[in-house]
Amino acid sequence: MELIDLLIKIALIIVIFVISLVVAMYSTYAERKIAAFFQDRVGPNRAGPWGILQPLADGGKMFLKEEIIPTNATGFLFIVGPSLAILTACIGSAVIPWGQNLEIGGRVIPLQVTDINVGILYIFGVVSLGVYGIMIGGWASNNKYSLLGAIRAASQNISYEISMGLSIIALLMVTGTLSLGEIAKQQHGFWADGYFSWNVFKQPLGFLLFIVCAFAETNRSPFDLPECETELVGGYHTEYSSMKLGFYLFAEYINMFISSAVMATLYFGGYNFPFMDLIHSPNLVAILGVVALFIKIFMFIFFFMWVRWTLPRFRYDQLMDLGWKTLIPLAIANIVLTGIFMTFFK
């Protein structure tokens, strides 16, 4: 790797990092505005026009609050918990292809931090690490609510990870690769060889399973039992204050952004959009592709919020039954059906 390539890489990493933080910040604003819309309220409207500076005000407040470490808590782990939560949320974006290659002055700039051939496994690894942040934080707090919330979160996350892993297998059979860059490339355009090229049309059941698991993995409603306020006060972050609380909340929104990006890439064509072959300038296609990907991501984020204000929360046994007794058999059936279909009808 030449020095200039290295600098471009680092610039790209920092740009993506900042974008994911900004998207996460504005997701909090969007969530409150959308909640307000669904409940026929106005929502935040005091900080700046339409309350658009609200996330900055919230961030400033988080910075300036007193940080409290309870005397009973295990101090070191108490700090490690939220740090780990946000750290794992931030590194997932490394393998997502944000667009086609840009070409500036004869230099090809890939809009993907790195296209490793085990991209999906990397994403799964990072997702699995996420549970440590919650578990460590909840345990270190030495508070009954926190510990219960953390145990619930851990067992929920690991239960849904199995169905998530299984739901993706059928997709891998179709794509034949683990590299996210390659998967995005295969879904070129919108229509190819007499069928839709996006994977969602080849794996509708797989996508449904994946999105349910994504809701559970990000602890979003209706699976938000770890922080269910009617039973557990604040769940695993009951004892947290200041920026540590901010990190936990922020990690949730970054995870939502990353999982939306993963879903868009795996199932909804990533940066591909219909009629992209009609545009002849490759750079224009690349830029429009980035725009298309972000539109898809924002639609998924909106969907996350829409569901939150539509469905009530599950009970714990219902959650476990859904994960183990419904999603796993469905995912296995999906694999078997995909296998039979691909062997005998193609």
Partner 1 sequence: METQSLPINYLPIIFQMLVAIGFVVTTMFVTHKIGPKRKTKDKLTPFESGIEVVGNARTPASIKYFLVAILFVLFDVEVIFMYPWAVNFKDMGKTGMIEMFIFMATLLAGFIYVIKKKALDWD
Site for partner 1 in 287-316 (CB under 8 A): 316
Give the nearer residue to partner 1 in terms of CB position, either 52 or 118.
118
Name the residue type at position 144.
Answer: K
Minimum separation from the CB atom of position 151 to partner 1 (A): 5
**Interface residue with partner 1, options 77, 118, 129, 288 (CB under 8 A):** 118
Is residue 277 near partner 1 by the rule CB under 8 A? no
Stretch of residues binding partner 1 (CB under 8 A), selected from 214-222, 264-272, 288-296, 324-332: 324-332
Q: Are 122 and 94 in contact (CB under 8 A)?
A: yes
Stretch of residues binding partner 1 (CB under 8 A), selected from 42-50, 93-101, 200-208, 223-231: 93-101
Site for partner 1 in 42-71 (CB under 8 A): 62-71
Is residue 122 near partner 1 by the rule CB under 8 A? yes
3-class SS shares of the chain: helix, strand, coil, % to 5: 70, 5, 25
Stretch of residues binding partner 1 (CB under 8 A), selected from 98-106, 134-142, 255-263, 281-289: 134-142
Is residue 146 near partner 1 by the rule CB under 8 A? yes
Helices (H) and strands (E) in the chain, counts: 12, 4
Minimum separation from the CB atom of position 212 to partner 1 (A): 16
**Interface residue with partner 1, options 35, 43, 50, 142 (CB under 8 A):** 142
Burial class (CB within 10 angstroms; exposed 0-12, middle 13-18, buried 19+) of 162: middle
Minimum separation from the CB atom of position 210 to partner 1 (A): 14
- Residue 111 φ then ψ, to 5°: -90, 45
**Interface residue with partner 1, options 43, 53, 115, 298 (CB under 8 A):** 115
3-state class of 102 per DSSP?
A: strand
Site for partner 1 in 163-222 (CB under 8 A): 165-166, 169-170, 172-173, 176-179, 182
| CA–CA separation, 183 and 195 (whole Å) | 17
User: Which residues, other chains included, contact 247 with Cβ-Cβ below 8 Å and sequence gap of 6+?
Assistant: 82, 83, 85, 86
Is residue 90 near partner 1 by the rule CB under 8 A? yes
User: Which parts of the chain are beta strand (E)?
Assistant: 99-104, 107-111, 191-192, 195-196
Looking at the DSSP assignment, which residues form a beta bridge with residue 107?
Answer: 104
Tokens of 268: 């909804």
DSSP notation for 264-312:
HHHHS-TT--TTGGG---HHHHHHHHHHHHHHHHHHHHHHHHHHHTTSP
Tokens of 48: 């700046």
Lay out the site mask for partner 1 across 11-30 (x = CB under 8 A, - = otherwise). Answer: --xx--x-------------
Is residue 129 near partner 1 by the rule CB under 8 A? no
Is residue 105 near partner 1 by the rule CB under 8 A? no
Give the nearer residue to partner 1 in terms of CB position, either 135 or 200.
135
**Interface residue with partner 1, options 100, 159, 255, 265 (CB under 8 A):** 159
